[in-house]
Amino acid sequence: MIFFRCVAIALPQILILLLVGSVNDMLGGWNQTSDAMTTVVTLFLLGPITALALLITEIVKCYKANRGERRRTFSFIGLAVALLVQSLAIDLYLLSQLRM
């Protein structure tokens, strides 16, 4: 479960780093290849899906927890909600930057 939380936390940050690196031309031309677009689209889709899966998992874990452990699981639910909101905000920002 700890690994899943770390992955859910890291995915939106990786997308932000790729966007900042491509804007500042720090990727050495990699951002102009088809592999870069595939990576960005994958992170774009995988970020909110992973955050939503984490939220559902934390809710189920809280439902199954004993009374003494519920206080601790509520903080993890808050973390999952914050990650979902962050991931959706990053995706909306990315969509606003698209030029057709």
Contacts of 26 (CB under 8 A, 6+ apart): 20
Tens digit of each residue's pLDDT (9 = 90 or more) over 22-42: 777 777 777 677 787 888 888
Average pLDDT over residues 74-97: 90
pTM for this model (two decimals): 0.83
Q: Name the pLDDT band for 3 (thresholds 50, 70, 90).
A: very high
